[in-house]
């Protein structure tokens, strides 16, 4: 949002109050103003009157009012100034879209003392609302940012809207609770909710394959694979990450993967490298959820992610084409664009 400084002049408070009182003023401008141009500018920009109302007040035509306002700009009576921060964020969003081939990028200002995942989630809710269409099936992943989006979402008023969980459930923390993210978002949007009634990770490929052969789960995965849009985050794999605390991998396995250095982050339970390609992990055969390639098959892919610990992981996801739409904070945007 731009911040605009409307007027280059000011009046004493008593005079400003006098002008804003509804009264029949003559066409001759008050003594505070040199001419009708300055008076029209005040009425338009400060008193927020319409051009039609100003024309009636001044006893002139609407065309004359429009000319007065243009002249006020030319004469420097009125100056419009964009907030540099807003301009830089807009420029960063455009640069991100161009750099990573995105349909759209959104950059929110980073504020000290405010959780970046919450701010990105709130912005992501607005982006998602603008993207939704009648008949959409929206796949939902998990994580702190996705949960923030779900909490910030508002009723969509869209017919035949379905929200579907794209990875299995877990009895872990709220941050790793795909069913919570899905249910909350569906309730907020007033949409049909389809949870995935299966664990996030099973102990063997054979067990997973037999479970996924069940007709109920086959129908659920058919719905998931028909998703028109998907909302997901990008995580790091460090000791404080949601993925680490999820317990999907043992401490030993995760430590070995981190030491190898190939994996840079995680997307919907799948490890990815610096180019967004899947990195094999011991749990791959037991994961119940969509793969990286299935993610890329969804037409609209809204990625929400930010924070210094996730920069490498986010860059990998964007380089790999995992997202079509991206929401982040200004600090992360700067790091992604600078290569740091």
Residue 19 vs residue 69, higher pLDDT: 69
For the chain, give every residue range classified as CATH 1.10.10: 13-74
pLDDT tens digit sequence for 220-230: 999 999 999 99
Architecture of domain 84-338: 3-Layer(aba) Sandwich (3.40)
- pLDDT score of 172: 57
Comparing 91-100, 163-172, 283-292, the range with the smallest average pLDDT is 163-172
Report residue 249 as tokens: 């991998």
Task: Provide the pLDDT confidence category of residue 310 given band limits of 50, 70 and 90.
Answer: very high
The mean per-residue pLDDT over the stretch 168-183 comes to: 74
The mean per-residue pLDDT over the stretch 288-307 comes to: 96
- pLDDT score of 173: 56
d(CA 15, CA 180): 57
Q: Is the pLDDT of residue 302 over 90?
A: yes
Supply the pTM of this predicted model.
0.74
Percent of the chain with pLDDT over 90: 57
Q: For the domain bounded by 13-74, which CATH number is listed?
A: 1.10.10
Q: Is the pLDDT of residue 6 over 80?
A: no
Q: Quickly tell me which residue has 């964007």 as its tokens.
A: 318
Comparing 117-126, 164-173, 330-339, the range with the smallest average pLDDT is 164-173
Q: Is the pLDDT of residue 68 over 70?
A: yes
- pLDDT score of 22: 38
Q: DSSP letter at 310?
A: G
pLDDT tens digit sequence for 20-56: 333 444 468 887 777 889 999 999 988 889 999 999 9
d(CA 105, CA 95): 9
d(CA 176, CA 152): 18
Percent of the chain with pLDDT over 70: 87
Report residue 41 as tokens: 């500018």
- pLDDT score of 336: 96
pLDDT tens digit sequence for 176-186: 578 889 999 99
For the chain, give every residue range classified as CATH 3.40.50.1360: 84-338
- pLDDT score of 264: 94
Task: Provide the pLDDT confidence category of residue 294 given band limits of 50, 70 and 90.
Answer: very high
Q: Is the pLDDT of residue 70 over 80?
A: yes
- pLDDT score of 19: 39
Q: Any idea of the CA torsion for 50, 46, 61, 18, to the nearest 10 degrees? A: 110
- pLDDT score of 18: 35
Comparing 18-22, 30-34, 306-310, 316-320, the range with the smallest average pLDDT is 18-22
The mean pLDDT of the chain is: 85
**% helix / strand / coil in the chain, to the nearest 5?**
45, 15, 40
- pLDDT score of 283: 85
Interior/surface letters 245-274, b for 16+ CB within 10 angstroms, e for the rest: ebbbbeeeebeebeeeeebbbbbbbbbbbb
The mean per-residue pLDDT over the stretch 274-296 comes to: 92
């Amino acid at each position: 949002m731009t911040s605009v400084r409307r007027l280059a002049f000011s009046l004493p408070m008593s005079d400003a109050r006098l002008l804003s009182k509804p009264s029949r003023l003559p066409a001759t401008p008050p003594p505070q103003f040199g001419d009708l141009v300055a008076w029209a500018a005040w009425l338009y920009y400060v008193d927020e009157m319409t051009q039609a109302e100003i024309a009636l007040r001044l006893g002139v035509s609407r065309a004359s009012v429009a000319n007065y306002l243009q002249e006020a700009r030319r004469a420097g009576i009125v100056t419009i100034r964009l907030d540099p921060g807003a301009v830089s964020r807009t420029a960063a969003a455009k640069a991100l879209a161009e750099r990573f081939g995105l349909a759209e990028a959104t950059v929110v200002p980073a504020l000290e003392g405010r959780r970046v995942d919450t701010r990105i989630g709130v912005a992501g809710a607005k982006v998602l609302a603008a993207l939704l269409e009648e008949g959409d099936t929206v796949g939902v992943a998990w994580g702190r940012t996705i949960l923030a989006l779900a909490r910030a979402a508002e009723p969509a008023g869209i017919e035949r809207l379905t929200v579907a969980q794209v990875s299995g459930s877990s009895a872990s923390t709220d941050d790793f609770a795909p069913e919570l993210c899905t249910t909350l978002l569906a309730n907020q949007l007033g949409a049909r909710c389809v949870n995935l009634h299966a664990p996030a990770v099973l102990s063997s490929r054979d067990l997973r394959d037999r479970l996924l052969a069940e007709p109920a789960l086959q129908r659920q995965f058919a719905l998931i694979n028909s998703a028109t849009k998907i909302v997901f985050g990008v995580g790091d794999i460090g000791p404080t990450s949601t993925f680490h605390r999820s317990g999907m991998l043992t401490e030993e396995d995760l430590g070995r993967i981190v030491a190898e250095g190939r994996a840079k982050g995680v997307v919907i339970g799948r490890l990815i490298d610096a180019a967004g390609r899947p990195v094999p992990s011991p749990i791959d055969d037991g994961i119940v959820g969509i793969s990286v390639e299935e993610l890329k098959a969804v037409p609209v892919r809204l990625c929400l992610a930010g924070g210094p610990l996730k920069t490498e992981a986010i860059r990998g996801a964007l380089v790999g084409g995992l997202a079509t739409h991206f929401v982040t904070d200004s600090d992360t945007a700067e790091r992604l664009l600078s290569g740091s």
